[in-house]
DNA sequence: TAGAATAGGATAATGATTCTTTTTTAATAA
DNA sequence: TTATTAAAAAAGAATCATTATCCTATTCTA
């Protein structure tokens, strides 16, 4: 975890940005909640717990900066807010998402799966792919009744 | 085109909604601009040309209704506005998009391409897929310089 | 240290979307 | 047809997420 912060710090420095205390607190929150898909407001509230003096605008500015640096990806699941997702280190593709229309849970798929499809698209459409966004909407494994488990989870 | 409006009309009626003049004007605008990815505001301005008395809120309500009925799909390319895309008639999957990071153009892929991937996801993640969203970001064929065509297009 | 650049805090402004209230229109019953 | 009722629309206020502004604080440089 510390090493990860260090690497992000280096990345900031390489573009002549500084890892200020506020930025570090924000990054820590993101790292500590890597499983989740936090909105700017979510991040703000969590950062406040450890650095109560931080302002919402700073969180927005920091998230924007981290997005530019590709440390996080900004995504939108159609609920009116942007969410920020830490990019898996070393992965050259953005991971995919499974959004459950029953309970609202958002699960992740780290496997690429799109290799063949991208080849087809690049050749068939003469389009140079730099990034992708893939989200499936459906019923998650927790919401299937076939296993008798009626627990609907708390969602995301 | 008329037949398409008729079918949408039937679809509305089957849920006991009416195809009011405002709704019809909105649907016509969507049909006439099927290639584009209009925001609510875009639709509003276009509808105004033929039905100047329509209100913006009505356009929003209509688009929401059409989304519910799966006549259109609401999508978000990350530019802060929702866009509304007429669902291809008879297609059981939502089409994919190519967003050019150079000129902003949005092209469509009507081919499914995801059949195999979805099978893997359904089995590997025990997730029942109902819908999907797939967008590629990259350089479109118009923005490639290798063909010597420097026309950057007008974007979307 | 003085001056410049970078960043943060507070809050106003913006812009998209939704809500509320009132009016209009359409459908139905007498 | 006329009164009744419900659905839908118009207008504009309200909300909510996000961005801009203005000023202060911090860091860097000469
Ligand atoms: Mn994720
Ligand atoms: Mn489309
Ligand atoms: Zn679920
Ligand atoms: Zn292009």
Q: What is the CA radius of gyration of chain B?
A: 18
Q: Does A127 touch chain B (CB under 8 A)?
A: yes
DSSP H or E segment with residue A133: strand A128-139
How far from A34 is each of A1, A6, A151, A156, B73, CA to CA, in Å? 11, 17, 24, 13, 30
Question: Do B116 and A114 form a contact (C-beta atoms < 8 A)?
Answer: no
For the segment B9-18, what is each residue's pLDDT rounded down to a tens digit?
A: 999 999 999 9
Give residue B146's pLDDT.
57
- pLDDT-based confidence at residue B2 (cuts at 50, 70, 90): confident
pTM, rounded to two decimals = 0.89
Buried/exposed code over B125-143 (b: 16+ C-beta within 10 A; e: otherwise): bebbbeebbbbbbbbbbbb
What's the whole-number mean pLDDT along residues B58-66? 98
**Residues on chain B touching A114 (C-beta within 8 angstroms):** 117
Find the ligand nearest to B144 CA. 4
Residue B123 pairs in a beta bridge with none
3-state secondary structure of B6: helix
Give B21-33 pLDDT, tens digit per residue. Answer: 999 999 999 999 9
* pLDDT, tens digit (0-9, with 9 covering 90-100), for A38-97: 999 999 999 999 999 999 999 999 999 999 999 999 999 999 999 999 998 888 889 999
Helix (H) or strand (E) holding B72: strand B72-76
Tokens of A11: 């990345």
Interface of A with B in 55-84 (CB under 8 A): 74, 76, 78
Q: Can you tell me which residue has its alpha carbon closest to the C1' of nucleotide D9?
A: B58
Residue B51 has pLDDT above 50, yes or no: yes
Does position A153 have pLDDT exceeding 80, yes or no? no
Residue A103 near chain B (CB below 8 Å)? no
């Amino acid at each position: 975890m510390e090493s990860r912060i260090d690497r992000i710090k280096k990345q900031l420095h390489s573009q002549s940005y500084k890892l200020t205390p506020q930025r570090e607190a924000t990054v820590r929150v993101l790292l500590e909640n890597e499983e989740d898909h936090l909105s700017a407001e979510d991040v703000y509230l969590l950062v406040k717990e450890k650095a109560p003096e931080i302002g919402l605008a700073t969180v927005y500015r920091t998230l924007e900066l981290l997005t530019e640096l590709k440390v996080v990806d900004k995504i939108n699941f159609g609920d009116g807010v942007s969410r920020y997702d830490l990019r898996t280190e070393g992965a050259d593709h953005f991971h995919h998402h499974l959004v459950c229309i029953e309970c609202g849970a958002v699960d992740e798929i780290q496997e690429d799966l799109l290799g063949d499809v991208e080849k087809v698209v690049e050749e068939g459409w003469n389009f140079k792919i730099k990034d992708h966004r893939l989200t499936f909407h459906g019923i998650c494994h927790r919401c299937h009744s076939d296993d008798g488990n009626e627990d609907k989870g708390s969602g995301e």
